[in-house]
Chains A and B, each alone.
Chain A
Amino acid sequence: MENRKLVKDIPAEDLIVPVRAQGRLARALDSDIFYSWRTSPVTVVATFVALSLILLAVFAPLIAPYNPFNPASLNLMDGFTPPASTGAFTDNYFLMGADNQGRDVLSTIMYGSRVSLFVGILATLFAMTLGVSLGLIAGYNGGTIDAVIMRVTDIQLSFPAILIALLIFGIARGLIPANQQESMAVWVLILAIGLSNWAQFARTVRGATMVERQKDYVSAARIMGVHPILILLRHVLPNVLGPVLVIGTISLALAIIEEATLSFLGVGVPPTQPSLGTLIRIGQQFLFSGEWWILFFPAVTLIALALSVNLLGDWLRDALNPKLR
């Protein structure tokens, strides 16, 4: 007890709250989150790896040495050129070698990452939107609606996501006429991966919503007659978003791997528009014949991409969890 000081005993200058930095950027750089990012070397490296892979993919048409989808620029006779050498037939230089179709492996990886990231990001956004909406509805309403939605998520979580994606993919393929299947393949893939990943979002958001629902600010809003949808969107949603961001980041890594798995199994995107998974599928045919570069570089890229996004997710989880700080 004697250690406790009364306010009047504290020197005045200590009572002054340190002035927070001004401006958005300055405030962000001064935040706890940035501090935890700055002090974790693994996270800093992961950020740079993920960002550079994403930038390479996004700007592939501008910076890739060749356009592997432009038949005029490639020649089949360059097929199987080893890394760091010039094609036998054209003057093209292949830093990572050429694949079985004479395409520059480096360029196909840059273009392939575009497909992988596009599918991964859209599928995760789709899963997130679906899962968060259902989670909010279930958590806020409770009762029968909650029971039905949660049983569906339970059932879904008891299957591996890849099986559900294969099932949805199969059904969608059956419904789409044969001559449109290839043009629809990417969208079917997004739908299949999205539908196989929403359950985690729904479950987490539902739990968080049930906690928030009990709080006074929600009761106050309800007493004031605010429409339930507005309460959910304006009051509850911002307060449950933290865990959603964490799951979202980890789901992105999972979605990229899931896309690669489906394409590896040959049910994903067509081989003329390869994603990383398709490139790995093509490359593994040449494992025994010694043309290792066709498999090696796409595989390393996939690992780097998934690992760095995953590490970012881990960091975000720790940074947003006050108990771990």
Chain B
Amino acid sequence: MTRQILSLSAMLLSSTLIVSQASAETIRWARASDALTLDPHSQNQGVTHNFAHHVYETLMDRDAEGTLTPRLATSWAIKDGAPDTWVFTLREGVTFHDGAAFTAEDVVFSLDRARSEKSNMRQLHVDVAEVTAVDDYTVEVRMTGPSPLYPNNLTNTFMMDKDWSEANNVVEVQDYAAGEDNFAVRNTNGTGPYILQSREVDVRSVLTVNDNHWAETKPEVTEIIYLPISDAATRVAALLSGEVDVVQDVPVQDIERLSGTDGIKVETGAENRVIYFGYKFGDAPLASSNITDSNPFNHPAVREAMELAIDRDAIKAVVMRGQSFPTGIPNPPFVAGWTPELDAYPAVDLDRAKALLAEAGYPDGFSVTLDTPNNRYVNDEAISQAVVGMLGRIGINVTLASRPVAQHSPLVTANETDFYMLGWGVPTFDSAYVFNDLVHSKEGSYGAYNGGLYSNPALDAMIKSLGTETDLEARAATVAEIWEVVKADRVLLPIHNQVLAYAMNDRITLPVHPENQPLMTSVTFAD
């Protein structure tokens, strides 16, 4: 009896110890929106990937300098004698959260899933012809032609367990735009450093550290409580009151106040993301316009007039409080293909803009609805509101439709918007990623986020050629040529590149991640 009591109290004691230890390394992480889905191939979206990176893993990572580093693949090389084939050597001894071993067949399954028809990741794998397992830890990816840059595309393609997926009937990717649901949307089985414990969509997700993770250094954070708080003031108040430890989307107006608060520090850094507006192309009249016999956006002079009406410097000074880099191309400076010449933007000229509108046949302007997200990018709704005012000055009467990103994003991918705001991050650090998704005509794996259905067959051909061009100098020349056309044709209306600010309890250090995908494994504690 005594022994029983003793062992019972020992058990109680040890469990309290574990609890107190765990709570000491819990991090409460707040940001504006939740992951759209947990199906790792369903949405190619930053917040979704950021969450997934904690649970699932990719073949390779990218460090702060932009260099690829090994993750589930330990090395990769072009196959001897076969310039169109990449060989990936996998890490041994990795297990999924349910205990199953990670092997080559899981990689084959995951890459095939990521390039399947319903996948939102397929544009990254558009040049893949065939994926085969050579042995348990070697995978060969044969491309349609030589693709020297293909590994760049793999930093957000997550590896799933083939058997688990088959057992749970999730071989097919969730069709997010169609409102589909599947087991993988709410359940996970990855190899990542954290295991999903519970999830209430848009409210709270809890992750605990994976003790069987392959990495030698264990993360200091053992429990993550992820709290999407869409309202900016509430998010900041939560940090000030100590309810959360890290706030990822800090409103620009609060940076100054937070930096001056004892016990709180703010980290800022440029994000690899451009904020732009997209137009609906084509001859069909716009659904939301008073012009019913033509599409004003289809006229190049109208697009030029709109560019001349927008005062990017005013947006930077007032809306962003200096926390942005105004730009003239939809391509962040981090990305190969960016040049200062392309980045230049015209000065505001309202008279010229009005003259251009008249020249295009719209002397009295026209009306249109602008769809904007209100919880995704820094001050997204306020930027759109400012643009509404600026376009109003040249007679373009814009109605603003503001929605949370979960409702806004499907409008763009389903081409149900006439005029929209979007932000584009470039995880591959290569211009082809921008062209494939935003510029190429919407067909097959291309143009997933070409919300305005822009189509230029000459550009399409050049974009396709980038995938298989082995001469890197010739490739860079084609990239430059495409950018010239994109800029001259005003395919998109770029505004600026974002600056990110993370605010946190000052005993924590979390550096700003250029792709805004901070990993809680990188958190260090001061004490």
Contact = CB atoms under 8 A, between A and B. Distances in A.
Interface stretch (B58-66, B184-192, B398-406, B450-458): B398-406
B256 A76 contact: no
A175 to B, nearest CB: 15
A270 B411 contact: no
Given A181-B401, A272-B399, A285-B251, A76 B389 contact: yes
B399 A285 contact: no
How many chain B residues sit at the interface, stated as a range, is 35 or more
A77 B348 CA distance: 14
- Max count, chain A CB within 10 A of own CB: residue among B287, B374, B392: B392
B253 A270 contact: no
Contact of B317 (A77, A178, A266, A286): A77
B108 interface: no
Contacts of A291: 253
A221 B298 CA distance: 70
Nearest to B396: A71
Contacts of B232: 285
Contacts of A77: 314, 317-318
B389 A288 contact: no
Interface stretch (B83-91, B299-307, B379-387, B474-482): B379-387
Interface in B266-289: 287-288
Given A71-B388, A71-B393, A272-B400, A100 B257 contact: no
Contact of A289 (B240, B256, B402): B256
B322 to A, nearest CB: 13
A289 B250 CA distance: 12
Nearest to A289: B253
A280 B148 CA distance: 54
Interface residues of A, number: 31
Contact of B253 (A70, A181, A286): A286
B257 A76 contact: no
B399 A183 contact: yes
A290 B317 CA distance: 17
B391 interface: yes
Contacts of A270: 399-402
A100 B254 contact: no
Contacts of A70: 392
A94 interface: no
A71 B392 contact: yes
B220 interface: no
A287 B311 CA distance: 27
B515 interface: no
> Which secondary structure dominates where chain A touches chain B?
loop
Contact of B385 (A101, A178, A288): A101
B319 A79 contact: yes
A80 B317 CA distance: 11
B121 interface: no
Contact of B402 (A180, A183, A266, A287): A266
A100 B402 contact: no
Interface string A60-81: 0000000000111011110110
Interface string B235-263: 01100100000000001011011100000
B45 to A, nearest CB: 20
A74 B416 CA distance: 31
B418 A179 contact: yes
B254 A76 contact: no
A228 interface: no
A182 interface: yes
Interface string A95-116: 0000011100000000000000
Interface in A249-303: 266, 270-272, 284-291
A271 B385 contact: yes
Contacts of A288: 233, 236-237, 240, 253-254, 257-258
A179 B287 contact: yes
B318 to A, nearest CB: 4
A239 B253 CA distance: 58
Contacts of B314: 75-77
A79 B318 contact: yes
B369 interface: yes
Interface in B458-486: none
Given A266-B374, A284-B233, A288-B233, A71 B391 contact: yes
Contacts of A75: 314
B390 interface: yes
A178 B402 contact: no
A234 B371 CA distance: 51
A306 to B, nearest CB: 22
B400 A182 contact: yes
B495 interface: no
A290 B399 CA distance: 30
A75 B400 CA distance: 18
Interface in A189-211: none
A74 B386 CA distance: 10
Contacts of A79: 318-319
Interface in B396-432: 398-402, 411, 416-418
- 8 closest A-B pairs by CB: A71-B392, A79-B318, A289-B253, A179-B287, A179-B288, A71-B389, A76-B314, A272-B400
15 contacts: A71-B393, A72-B393, A77-B314, A79-B318, A100-B382, A101-B385, A102-B389, A178-B411, A179-B287, A179-B416, A179-B418, A266-B402, A272-B398, A285-B253, A291-B253
